[in-house]
Structure 1
Amino acid sequence: MKFFAKGASLFFLFLTIFSSLSFCNYSDNAADEISEKVEASKKVEKSGTKKSKKEKVEIQNEDELPLPEEDSEIALFAIVKEHSEREEVLHWKEEFLKERRFKFMKDAVENYPEYRIFVRKSVREQGLPAELEYLPVIESGYNTKAVSRSGAKGMWQFMSNSVHPYLKLDEYTDERLDPWKSTAAGLSKLQDNYKMYGDWLLAIAAYNCGNGKMRAAIKKSGGETDFWKLAAGGYIPKQTADYIPELLAVAEICVAPQKFGVEILDFKEEFSSMQNEEDSYDFVTVKKPYLISSIASEIQIEENALKKLNPSFTKGFTPPATESTLRLPKGMRENFEAALENVQELEFPFKYKVVKGDSLWAISRRYGVTVKLLCDTNGIKENALLKINQILYIPSVNF
């Protein structure tokens, strides 16, 4: 066969060059090799040349992702293995090995290990495609505070019109910002999509463009359900057409970085020792509005640490008139229950609508409260700029 008839000399030359490579932040050689594959793929497509089934199998084995030494984890990445050599995926592997995108990808998977490991554990426990661990890389760079230009928020980038029935979003709470709850929601939505389409590429693509656009694309194409054909035919948005190959490229590079001459942490030891969420934290229920800062002070932990565990309380206090669940460090339940008796309930005489010329200092003086209390109550910083018609909650002057 032509693919294997290059000669022994070329084979040993390749081995010599490959063995001299050292790990670095990104590999120009790997990018060049992928670039050559992209061009070769284009030539094959233009010439109309088709490989025999035997050739496909042998070529796939030649480029097969290397198995980690300790286990066959890569075997879980069936979608990556099936589509690794597609021109679209090769293109995005080349792009993510370039300096700027490689840095973004590496930072995303290494800077938020607690969330990445939690997502991996959730994906594995539910028997979902392993590639989904890397979807938050594409969505938000694993940034729990990410906000898109279109208003999507959180690690899984839910729009406000797509949170129901997966997450709670109201005047006091935005669970899109909670990495644990939004992970459960994101995976549930993906599973619902899969039930609808019976295909993971379509399910993941619909997560990006929405089920309305995906159904319209399938209908307009005459019932086509092959993602790659829908993308090539222009039936789905370009962003969605790129979304799948971007995900597969990132997943392959991150799960087999040695193949590309790069280093990326996999947190395998941390993953093996991580407990599930219920065993990692204590959860308590409150039925009244309390300042997160006051609770933190009473149970003697850092305010920012408690807020990081409960990021969905956007106003800085637990909601009034409804039950709320607080996430606490493991072992803090009894301490909390005893301390709660000393935490004063937050009272709201009324809401104030900001007008032109207002400042936090002026409003705090007008109602006899401190700027800090006003900011804590509304979940804003003391140097925050107010917006006309912004609603501020005024706490009781007796607080």
Structure 2
Amino acid sequence: MKFAWCTHFLRSWSGAVGVAALLGALFFFSCPTGVQAEPFPVYDEIKPKVAFWKDIYSRYPSTQGLLHDRFDLDLVYAVLEVENTWDNAARRRNRNQINAGREEYRAILLHLAAGHAPRNAKEERVLALFGDRASPERLRRAADNIRFQRGLKDRFREGVIRSGAYLAQIKEILRQYGLPEDLAYLPHVESSFNYEAYSRLGAAGIWQFMRATGRQYMTIDYVLDERRDPIRATHAAAQLLRENHQRLGNWPLAITAYNHGATGMIRARNQHGDYPSIIRHYSGNRFGFASRNFYSEFLAAREVAKNAERYFGPLDLEPQRRSHEIVLSGYVSLAELAAHLGVDVATLHRYNQGLREPVLQGEKYVPKGYHLRLPADQPTVRLASALPDTMLRQAQRRSAFYTVRRGDTAWEIARRHGVSLSALMAANQLNSRATIYAGQNLRIPGVDEPAVMLAAASGAGAGKTRVAEAPPAQEPTAPATAAAPPVEAAPEVVAVAGEPAPGQVTEQAAAEDYQVAGALADPREVAAAGARLASARDNGWSLAMAERVAESRPDYVGEGVAPEAAGELLSSRRALSLSGNGSRLPAMTMAVAGAGEPATGAVNPAVVWGNLSVEEVRDLADGRRVGYIRVEVEETLGHYADWLSIPTQELRRLNGFPFGRPIRLEQRLMIPLDRGVEQAFFEEQRYEYHKSLEEDFYAAYRVDGVETYRVRPGDNIWQLSHDEFELPLWLIRKYNPELVLDRLRPGDEIRVPVVLARQR
């Protein structure tokens, strides 16, 4: 980062407001005087754009949209009525209507461009839009630049209401950095002040930071994602905006750089000079519609938000969310903390939105040193100021995963790691048959996690849990759109208590496994589960469920049940009793497997694909110890350097890579394992990175089918993923495990998931 003190300030701003104010003041008075007087000029060249976006934000709701020219936004051809629902059928109807409208007006424009007279009132109106600009060349160009923009009035209004919770604090933070406080309205453009906003390509929070940019200013890992914290993200946005302004000299360019990047805007300024000239003439790489309009959108959003009651009528804004902050001196269970403070976990999360799902679910602790915010008007402040030592841990919970190999079963994996099958199934949302595939990375739930969510299973259509030879990549086949993967719906769950010691399984967990094994209807697993339960008991009695098994399933005889196991299973008549007083196992809800489930098991949203383990470890002749890994999607040398706590250049030297040389998918690389970072820790960091990407995406979106794209000459997977599909590369890889994505050939077929936003 350019200014090291900025990072220090972000990490400890709560105790350094005075320093921040001083530094902000110094920056403010060092700014050009013109910036102070007129920070956000409305140039004549962009007035039509600003008017267009004001209409989008304040006039047209999300049930309407405009067909307009991509470059001249005052050329609006039609207002379309569209459906504002979440289902795939509505999406297709909207798409068909928009495409039909686009083709209709394209034909009109080409007709007029050919020199023909208007044939009706609609064509006369279209021609009149151009006025003295109606040259044949201009009309032909317009025919290829018809765009649809949905209205945002209702969403913008909701954003104004939501903004009440933090707007005053955001303005204060911007003032601390010496920035114009009206920049506080920029989140209306980015996210409509939606604190849960997450884009299809991975931008998060009200300021919509991408992960790579956000990590320069914030903590973003498996436990924390400070992009989602409105206060911490505002500090980061203030630093980025200030740096943009220092590099570019004025706010129109600095704000545009927030979308397009400072380097790109410096290139544009060097070529064309001022902002109006850039908007008129610059056609740099990726300077598309969003970047070209970003500053105009900000001006429109600022106008509408500052005068919201003029556009929307009286509004009842969310009350300001005042809080008190403490710094945790140890790692803390969020559930224990909530119980101690007398508030619920949801309230703590509402004030600390940077805490990720693993913390909320008890998989991870709130980290040591975290600045925890609490409701200021609650008696919790006194309790939080002196947490008992018994609540503070000195280490974080570790993450564990296992890469499935051919021949594995979920049962064997659970037993090998000392956890119950039911817990393993729940942690990975395995279907009722516990189907797994080679190449999947199963999360191993911690034996000391506070609760286990028992995944429901069912005997319907049950079969063996043997791992498939390979993912059924060829399914689904035609037609172009396939049914949604049934694994998107999580199985019904019931809570199960019990905290087995490391490497052991409690009697109750073993009993649960026996029930699951019965549902799976595999006699070997039933027998093994019975023996496992028997070995877990220490009060002199054993399982008698085998009596029922023997009566109801005589076909088990001769199916490979070991005589000693069968004898153990039949050794008692006390079927499900866990003690002499007749207490029984909790009821278990069984999930019925859908008919298409085996064909889509490879796209289980809870399971990460890829080779995330170190393949080989060697001791080099010079005494250094190295490991060999394969590059996976979404990984860079910077990620490896971060996980190993070494400079990126060290990895380049080790692998003989000159600066600027990119790495490629599945490339074999060496990493040092003699620099204080253990192999297991590296693998854990790598797994958590990929797991967090997928968890964040699936929390915001669901897959509603699969379409097929046929590769054309000139295509590459990065361009397709970002521009054509607007989907993360890991998701494309997950649905196409058999394709070598960086070596696509014309005619290759790519399965593209149809993604819809989840209702909030």
Paired amino acid for 2:60: K
Paired amino acid for 2:391: V
Q: Distance in 2 between matches of 1:262 and 1:349?
A: 50
Paired amino acid for 1:263: G
* Corresponding residue number in structure 1 for 2:503: none
* Corresponding residue number in structure 2 for 1:341: 389
Alignment counterpart, residue 232 of structure 1, candidates 264, 276, 280: 280
* Corresponding residue number in structure 1 for 2:258: 207
The answer as to whether partners of 2:338 and 2:348 remain within 8 angstroms in 1 is: yes
Q: Distance in 2 between matches of 1:195 and 1:344?
A: 43
Report the alpha carbon displacement of residue 342 of structure 1 after superposing the two structures with TM. Answer: 4.4
* Corresponding residue number in structure 1 for 2:61: 99
Paired amino acid for 1:373: A
Give the share of equivalent positions with the same residue, in percent. 23
* Corresponding residue number in structure 1 for 2:245: 194
Q: Distance in 2 between matches of 1:285 and 1:262?
A: 41
Report the alpha carbon displacement of residue 173 of structure 1 after superposing the two structures with TM. Answer: 1.9
* Corresponding residue number in structure 1 for 2:423: 361
CA shift in 2, pair 1:347/1:191, >3 Å: closer
Report the alpha carbon displacement of residue 382 of structure 1 after superposing the two structures with TM. Answer: 8.3
Matched, 1:173 2:251: no
Partner SS state of residue 99, structure 1: coil
Partner SS state of residue 86, structure 1: helix
Report the alpha carbon displacement of residue 209 of structure 1 after superposing the two structures with TM. Answer: 0.9
Report the alpha carbon displacement of residue 153 of structure 1 after superposing the two structures with TM. Answer: 1.0
Q: Distance in 2 between matches of 1:343 and 1:217?
A: 55
CA shift in 2, pair 1:218/1:324, >3 Å: same
Report the alpha carbon displacement of residue 214 of structure 1 after superposing the two structures with TM. Answer: 1.3
CA shift in 2, pair 1:265/1:131, >3 Å: farther
TM-score by length of 2: 0.35
Q: Distance in 2 between matches of 1:133 and 1:95?
A: 20
Q: Distance in 1 between matches of 2:53 and 2:261?
A: 23
The answer as to whether partners of 1:131 and 1:248 remain within 8 angstroms in 2 is: no
User: Can you list the C-alpha shifts for 1:167-223, whole angstroms capped at 9, x where unaligned?
Assistant: 11233221111111001111121111111111001111101111122122223x2xx
Alignment counterpart, residue 373 of structure 2, candidates 327, 347, 372: 327
Q: Distance in 1 between matches of 2:323 and 2:399?
A: 35
* Corresponding residue number in structure 2 for 1:263: 313
TM-score by length of 1: 0.64
Q: Distance in 2 between matches of 1:77 and 1:311?
A: 36
Q: Which has the higher contact order (CA 8 A, sep 6+)?
A: 1
Matched, 1:304 2:266: no
* Corresponding residue number in structure 1 for 2:160: 109
CA shift in 2, pair 1:284/1:340, >3 Å: farther
Q: Distance in 2 between matches of 1:161 and 1:381?
A: 34
Report the alpha carbon displacement of residue 147 of structure 1 after superposing the two structures with TM. Answer: 1.1
User: Can you list the C-alpha shifts for 1:119-176, whole angstroms capped at 9, x where unaligned?
Assistant: 2333355553343121101111111221112211111111111124321123322111
Report the alpha carbon displacement of residue 357 of structure 1 after superposing the two structures with TM. Answer: 7.8
Q: Distance in 2 between matches of 1:134 and 1:196?
A: 22
The answer as to whether partners of 2:53 and 2:300 remain within 8 angstroms in 1 is: yes
Which moved further from structure 2: 108-117 or 184-193? 108-117
Report the alpha carbon displacement of residue 104 of structure 1 after superposing the two structures with TM. Answer: 1.4
Q: Distance in 1 between matches of 2:315 and 2:388?
A: 41
User: Can you list the C-alpha shifts for 1:240-290, whole angstroms capped at 9, x where unaligned?
Assistant: 11111111112112223466x54264869x6xxx6xx9xx43322224332
* Corresponding residue number in structure 2 for 1:387: 607
The answer as to whether partners of 1:364 and 1:371 remain within 8 angstroms in 2 is: no
Q: Write 1 or 2 for the structure with the bigger share of helix.
A: 1
The answer as to whether partners of 2:190 and 2:208 remain within 8 angstroms in 1 is: yes
Alignment counterpart, residue 400 of structure 2, candidates 327, 348, 351: 351
